[in-house]
Amino acid sequence: MAAIIGLAMMLTAVLVLRAAKIGVAMQPPPWWASDNMSAFIVSPGIVTLFAGGLASASSWLIGGEWRAARLGTVIALAAVVAAFVALARLLRAWAPIASPVLAQAVQPAPGAADNDPRRPPGVPPMKKAA
C-alpha cells in the first residue's frame, strides 16, 4: 500500500507542477496561479507531495515490503501510472488552448532549421536573393 500511495503522490506532484506551469503562462493568470498562491501554497504543496511520496515509496523499498507484493498491488501501481499518462496527455492538449504563449513557444521559428522533418519531401529550402 505504501508503494501505491507513494507513487500516486509523486505523480500528482508532477501533474500539479505541469498545471502550474500552464497556469502561470495564462493571461490573465487564474486565481490559483497568482504570485502569492504560487509562492505560499502551490510550490510548497508540490514539494510536500513529492517528498511524502518519495518517503513512502522508499519505506516500501527499504523495508522489504516489495517482496510480499501481490498481483493487486502490481495492478494498482499500473492503474496509477495509466491515470498519470492519461491526465498528462490531457494537460498537454490543454496547454496550447489555455496559454497562447506556450503554443508559440512550441512552434519553431520560421526558417530556423533547413532539415525540418515536417517539410514535405522534394521541397528545397528557401535561398536568400542576392
**Predicted model pTM:** 0.71
- Please give the pLDDT value at position 68: 81
Phi-psi region of 99 (alpha: psi -120 to 50; beta: other; left: phi over 0): beta
Instruction: pLDDT tens for the chain, 130 residues: list them.
Output: 889 999 999 999 999 999 988 888 888 878 877 888 888 888 999 999 999 999 999 999 999 888 888 899 999 999 999 999 999 999 998 888 877 766 555 555 555 555 666 666 665 667 776 6
Confidence (pLDDT) at 44: 92
Three-state SS letters, the chain: CHHHHHHHHHHHHHHHHHHHHHHHHCCCCCHHHCHHHHHHHHHHHHHHHHHHHHHHHHHHHHCCHHHHCCHHHHHHHHHHHHHHHHHHHHHHHHHHHHCHHHHHHHCCCCCCCCCCCCCCCCCCCCCCCC
Please report the pLDDT score of residue 85 as a whole number.
96
Residues 6+ apart with CB under 8 A from 41: 32
Cα separation, 32 vs 14, whole angstroms? 16
Indicate the domain borders of the chain: 2-106
Which pLDDT value is given to residue 114?
56
